Amino acid sequence: METSTILNSISAEQINTLFQGLTNQIKELKENFEPVKPTEYLTRNEVAEMLKVDLSTLWLWQKKGKLIPVGLGNRVYYRRSDIEAALIFLGNKKGAENE
């Protein structure tokens, strides 16, 4: 079934303005669009390799609450975003004091 709309009493300038507004909205959407990234889960071995530490160090960090594990059954995983959030910046303290 085809539908059609007849535009009476709308000037070409008004149509042009409507399309310009639509174009601006699409442009803004493109600039601000951030696709949702799926949560990435890493195994204990992957995290230990990534951070270049021993599994016992991961256990200690977990015990101290520095890393929060998640699990499924008997498996232990860490969210990549949690690991990245746990990292702290150790920048130049002298430079930080001068700012």
Give the pTM: 0.56
Distance CA 59, CA 44 (A): 9
Question: By percentage, how much of the chain surpasses pLDDT 70?
Answer: 90
pLDDT at residue 1 tops 80:
no
Q: Is the separation of the CB atoms in 25 and 36 below 8 Å?
A: no
pLDDT level of residue 31 (50, 70, 90 thresholds): confident
Torsion of CA 33, 38, 44, 50, to 10 degrees: -30
- What local confidence, expressed as pLDDT, does residue 2 receive? 73
Greater confidence (54 vs 98) lies with: 54
Kind and range of the H or E run holding 62: helix 55-63
- What local confidence, expressed as pLDDT, does residue 95 receive? 53
pLDDT digits (tens, 9 = 90+) for 55-86: 999 999 999 999 999 999 999 999 999 999 99
